[in-house]
Chains A and B, each alone.
Chain A
Amino acid sequence: MAAIPALLPSTAFRDELRRRGGESAARCYQCATCSSVCELAPAARPFPRKQMLLAQWGMADQLAADPAVWLCHQCNDCTVRCPRDARPGDVLGAVRSLAIEKLAFPGFLGRLVGAARLTWPLLLALPVLFWVALLGLAGRLTPPAGLEAGWAYDALVPHSFIYGVFFPVAGWVILASWVAGRRFWTALGASGPRSGSFLANLMPALVEVATHKRFGSCGAARPRKLGHLTLLWGFVGAAVTSGLLIVGMYIQHLPMPLALDHPYKILGNVSAGLLIVGAAILVGNRLGDRKAAGASSAFDTFFLSVVVLVIATGMVVELARLAHAPAFALSSYILHLGFVMSLFLTFPYSKFAHMLYRTLAMVHARMAGLEKK
């Protein structure tokens, strides 16, 4: 008998969905045009029609454990073709943000970031203020006098400060992601049997992520695919550069700052270029055809804004060093470090977490035989 409680759908959930831009779910009349036009949906378990119904009925638990929610890349082919303008792409976007909040560890941080519409000043300012306070306590809020041209940022903020802050931050983020990821993985497991090893299936999933093969079959969102892929590789490049710099500093003992024609520097700047181009495409896309691009909820905008701020301040930081303007460089650097910290700390709770959940869902899909044939 009743698989759900003897109640009308939860009003709370529907309100929450509305706040996140998923109110159009109410317009759906289950014609399944969306499921038939979706290029990503597996034939055996099509989406997003069923997810629209679950959203209408307010069945949050089912949605949080549904791989389809994450297999959706918000191509918006469905939204463009929906005869009733129920915007399944946007609804699933809203559902994902709710799922991130529901799976978050600890829960209150999930709710804090989930309410980015209201809390964004706090989320951006707190890390910046943290750095101001830290450097203030260390008496480093002004650049040291008599800096010679060719100074490195180590002279303004010693590397030990960076490591001292970011290693624990990274540790915490990994822990929080691990707990939330496990919750998600367990919930997914309840939806059907899986076979094969996690690692064996992780590799092809990662290859897919790296190539955006799935994303490529989207119709309406093709411009977004290019931006997203560029941005992804920009981040990868930046991360590799950071690793190479540690090697360069402590093993190769290279003098800092590196010359502009040093391979590491070139890699770093190329990555920065990719980040700028990728972010520009994504921002431009959102400002274009609203329907194909999808609605912009505060949750989405917050994440994209932090990314843009990190890239912008990073650029300014490099230019300030080259222009030999230490005071300006320091203030830009504080902002940059604050934004990077915000980006890292909100990873498990912001839209950034899609990296984690979508990858897991793709591995699950492989193991549960939900691949599109």
Chain B
Amino acid sequence: MQRIGVFLCSGCGIGEALDVAALEKAAREEKAAHRAVHPCLCSPEGVATIRAAIDDGSVDGVLIAACSPRAKVEEFTFDPLKVAVERVPLREQAVWCQPPNHEDTQLLADDLLRMGIAKLAKMSLPVPFSAEISDTVLVVGGGVAGLEAARAAAAAGHPVVLVEASATLGGRMAGLTHLLPEGPPYDVLHPNRIAELLAKIQSDDRVTVYTSAKIQHIAGQPGQFAVTISTPQGERSFVAGAIVQATGARPYDASKLPHLGYGSSPNVITSAQLDEMLARGSLQRPGDGALPRRILFVQCAGSRDPQHLPYCSAECCGTTLRQVATIHQRHPDIETAVVYRDMRTPGQLERFYLAVQSQPNTLLTRGEVERVNGNGRGPLHVHLRESLLGNDVTLEADLVVLAVGMVPNAADGEAVRALHDAKVRAEKGDSETQRRDAAALAEQLAHHEGTEILHLEYRQGPDMPVLKYGFPDSHFICFPYETRRTGIYAAGTVRAPMDPPQAAEDGWGAAMKAIQCIEAAKRGAAVHPRAGDLGMPDFFLQRCTQCKRCTEECPFGTLNEDVKGTPQLNPLRCRRCGICMGACPERIISFPDYGVDRISAMIKAMSVPEEFEEKPRIVALMCENDALPALDQAAAQRQQWSPWIRVIPLRCLGSMNIVWIADALSRGIDGLLLVGCKSGDDYQCHYVRGSQLAQTRLGNVQETLTRLALEPARIKVVELSHHEFSRIPEIFNEFSAEIEGLGANPMKGF
């Protein structure tokens, strides 16, 4: 920005702890065009002084040296297309955490101010975005989640295309006569009203339904997905703004459970088979067609078992209770027993559990079913290990129902891509070894062949990335409907195991996210977590070396590649994390308000004492999602820490470019602290793998450091959760002490 206005606040104790006049003088030295000190900058009068300076055109960049950017957000928000804003948190990072009126505190504040001005000077304004955006929501899957998503989107006025692979709508719920209680007193079965929902969908002229249809191809980006589907009437093409994937789940394959008698006796069936029977209205033993007298349900059949499904499918307990109640309603004389490991009946379902337990002729008991013996003739013997009676027990039944868990109908997009790549390498690999290894990998991944559902034209694979259990990665810990493919939202049992009411709610949730995404696309704005950010990434492609790091590392599949490997930007897929910017060795990627040179400028703007004088300088690159809020919280509690730390906020630790490390060390900075989010299976990174990527990049740097005779210990990565704010002083002080122990950066002064 050309004309920078520096607005200093002396309220909240800033004026008492710092020499604000000296700071104003520093701003003058940094050539700020406009400077003002206000005793309460967030008051209407204070904000008015900023607005006046913007309105009369005397400033195009506003630096607010007051509190954290997380405070007073509404007051300090101005038209992003007209003015760039930078917030310097004097209050949190100097006043609250350092002794007042101390030379080092003043020095820290001075540095923070100069760093802010340096960054602001390098910022530019976002370019207004406009493109044709489709309002249509594509819903893939016509089960309860998909139907509810379609209903929700249509109710909000959006055109909906519903694509269902089978010939009828309704999914697994369609055949059920009754459902678990949906309202008080939660102790009786409710009639299945899916027919009403189907009628509503079919009579809604905003919803176009295609049954026996499949996705053939999806290209493009949110707001502009070009979709091709195949239907019995031929191919159809249309543009969709956002996609809800509600492809549901299928029962676990019971033939993998021979110890439970499946396959060896026709009278051992799955809960899905029992539902089919109940839907036909003919409850019978498959062995001889007679009405069973004693039915035994085995819960967790193959679930919560590392050999089969390691997870709990969440709805089998409810399904069994529903089936037991249905059977009792129709045939009160049939005895039913349920053997469970533990009944999981969250919420009001507990009341229904109690009601079923109280039914005559029903027994629910804890136990581990070790095996089921029997053939088509005579009774089945169910052997329980660890019954509550304290010994092994054998129960007799003439029909055994296995409550099997659910497996998501999802494809592992990244694995499909890896399979494709391996096959190409196996054929055209550079060396014999490479071709052999690739062939082995292709063999390993062969079961992913032809599993595609969405057929996305994404460089990172044709479907969403999945979690370790095969569910699409759709939970940014706290943001259940978010996914790693912007504009595509998983809902229902494909997202996580759940029961029909949850799936219905999920459908609505995903539809709301889809609409949100379409609305954001219309403004060219980012969705979660930098919701509303208008700055688009800019690629200076003339200098691209086609190294493909950006296209590989983007957690959201934003970038496709042309044949040469040059990144092709799909800006509406972008979440503005800057991971590509951190990855790029040529430093050709930037955002209007975030870029490699901006951060480098900040590093260069801070004072570095020529001599060590026991006053080391440490740069802390901190993630703005978890680490910075934690720091604000620690400061709000007036925790105190080392005065040598200069904090630079990053959008994600994954956006850290190695050049900053080089810049800092060559300037004589004595240590670098990188604070990011938790990585691993239970990652908390808002951008999925920022900390992980930072670690990898750093691994490469450490070798270089050693070669330059610099101690690797001068750089440290810390993973911090938001709630661990009390660790901040300890982290800062320990690292300070370590750096003091190491002594001055030998490059100082060069």
CB distance B362 to A30 under 8 Å? no
In the bound complex, residues from chain A placing their C-beta under 8 Å from that of B359 are 26
In the bound complex, residues from chain B placing their C-beta under 8 Å from that of A1 are 392, 394
Quick one: which of A4, A30, A54 contacts B393, CB cutoff 8 A?
A4
Q: Quick one: given A8-B335, A27-B357, A29-B357, are A2 and B392 in contact (CB under 8 Å)?
A: yes
**What 0/1 pattern do residues 259 to 284 of A give for CB contact below 8 A with B?**
00000000000000000000000000
**What 0/1 pattern do residues 23 to 54 of A give for CB contact below 8 A with B?**
11011011000000000000000000000011
**What 0/1 pattern do residues 471 to 487 of B give for CB contact below 8 A with A?**
00000000000000000
**What 0/1 pattern do residues 59 to 96 of A give for CB contact below 8 A with B?**
00000000000000000000000001000000000000
Interface status of A352 (Cβ within 8 A of chain B): no
Q: Which residue of A is nearest B340, CB measured?
A: A29
In the bound complex, residues from chain B placing their C-beta under 8 Å from that of A6 are 381, 394-396
Quick one: which of B296, B354, B381 contacts A27, CB cutoff 8 A?
B354
CB distance B393 to A8 under 8 Å? no
CB distance B391 to A8 under 8 Å? no
CB distance A8 to B363 under 8 Å? yes
Interface status of A166 (Cβ within 8 A of chain B): no
Give complex CA distance A6, B395 in Å: 5
CB distance A30 to B366 under 8 Å? yes
CB distance A18 to B360 under 8 Å? yes
In the bound complex, residues from chain A placing their C-beta under 8 Å from that of B363 are 8-9, 26, 56-57
Give complex CA distance A15, B393 in Å: 23
Q: Quick one: given A8-B363, A57-B363, are A26 and B393 in contact (CB under 8 Å)?
A: no
**What 0/1 pattern do residues 337 to 358 of A give for CB contact below 8 A with B?**
0000000000000000000000
CB distance A26 to B397 under 8 Å? no
CB distance B396 to A7 under 8 Å? yes
Give complex CA distance A23, B395 in Å: 22
**What 0/1 pattern do residues 351 to 391 of B give for CB contact below 8 A with A?**
00010011111111110000000000000010000001101
Give complex CA distance A32, B343 in Å: 16
CB distance A8 to B397 under 8 Å? yes
In the bound complex, residues from chain A placing their C-beta under 8 Å from that of B296 are 8
**What 0/1 pattern do residues 181 to 217 of B give for CB contact below 8 A with A?**
0000000000000000000000000000000000000
Q: Smallest CB–CB gap between B229 and chain A, Å?
A: 49
Interface status of B337 (Cβ within 8 A of chain A): yes
CB distance B395 to A56 under 8 Å? no
Q: Smallest CB–CB gap between B186 and chain A, Å?
A: 15
Interface status of A11 (Cβ within 8 A of chain B): yes
Q: Quick one: given A8-B294, A8-B397, A84-B354, are A3 and B360 in contact (CB under 8 Å)?
A: no
Quick one: which of A3, A4, A18, A26 contacts B362, CB cutoff 8 A?
A26
In the bound complex, residues from chain B placing their C-beta under 8 Å from that of A15 are 360
Interface status of A14 (Cβ within 8 A of chain B): yes
Give complex CA distance A4, B394 in Å: 8
Give complex CA distance A75, B491 in Å: 52
Q: Smallest CB–CB gap between B745 and chain A, Å?
A: 63
CB distance A30 to B397 under 8 Å? no
In the bound complex, residues from chain B placing their C-beta under 8 Å from that of A54 are 389
CB distance A30 to B335 under 8 Å? no
Sorting the interface of chain A by its residue count into under 10, 10 to 19, 20 to 34 or 35 or more gives: 20 to 34
Give complex CA distance A3, B381 in Å: 14
Q: Which residue of A is nearest B294, CB measured?
A: A8
In the bound complex, residues from chain B placing their C-beta under 8 Å from that of A14 are 360
Give complex CA distance A23, B363 in Å: 12
In the bound complex, residues from chain B placing their C-beta under 8 Å from that of A7 are 395-396
Q: Quick one: given A8-B363, A9-B363, are A3 and B391 in contact (CB under 8 Å)?
A: yes
Give complex CA distance A57, B294 in Å: 15
Quick one: which of A8, A23, A56, A57 contacts B396, CB cutoff 8 A?
A8
B89-116 with Cβ < 8 A to chain A: none
**What 0/1 pattern do residues 322 to 358 of B give for CB contact below 8 A with A?**
0000000000000101000001000000000010011
CB distance A27 to B358 under 8 Å? yes
Give complex CA distance A30, B363 in Å: 13
Q: Which residue of A is nearest B337, CB measured?
A: A8
B382-414 with Cβ < 8 A to chain A: 388-389, 391-397
Q: Smallest CB–CB gap between A30 and chain B, Å?
A: 6
Q: Quick one: given A2-B393, A6-B395, are A57 and B357 in contact (CB under 8 Å)?
A: no
Q: Smallest CB–CB gap between B346 and chain A, Å?
A: 15
Q: Smallest CB–CB gap between B36 and chain A, Å?
A: 64
CB distance A23 to B358 under 8 Å? yes
Q: Which of A8, A11, A15, A54 has the most chain B CB atoms closer than 10 A to its own CB?
A: A8
B256-312 with Cβ < 8 A to chain A: 294, 296
Give complex CA distance A99, B568 in Å: 83
Give complex CA distance A26, B338 in Å: 13
Q: Smallest CB–CB gap between B328 and chain A, Å?
A: 13
Q: Smallest CB–CB gap between B364 and chain A, Å?
A: 8
Quick one: which of A11, A56, A84 contacts B335, CB cutoff 8 A?
A11
In the bound complex, residues from chain A placing their C-beta under 8 Å from that of B393 are 2-4
Query: Assuming A26-B363, A56-B365, what are 16 further A-B pairs, CB within 8 angstroms?
Result: A2-B392, A3-B391, A3-B393, A4-B389, A6-B381, A6-B396, A8-B294, A8-B396, A18-B360, A24-B358, A27-B354, A27-B358, A29-B357, A30-B366, A53-B389, A84-B354
Interface residues of A, Cβ cutoff 8 Å to B: 1-4, 6-9, 11, 14-15, 18, 23-24, 26-27, 29-30, 53-54, 56-57, 84
List 7 A-B pairs, minimum CB-CB distance, nearest first. Answer: A2-B394, A6-B394, A6-B396, A3-B391, A26-B358, A8-B335, A7-B396
A-B contact pairs, 26 of them (CB 8 A): A2-B393, A2-B394, A6-B381, A6-B395, A6-B396, A7-B395, A8-B294, A8-B296, A8-B337, A8-B363, A8-B396, A8-B397, A9-B363, A15-B360, A18-B360, A23-B358, A26-B357, A26-B359, A26-B362, A27-B358, A29-B357, A30-B366, A53-B389, A54-B389, A56-B365, A57-B365
Interface residues of B, Cβ cutoff 8 Å to A: 294, 296, 335, 337, 343, 354, 357-366, 381, 388-389, 391-397
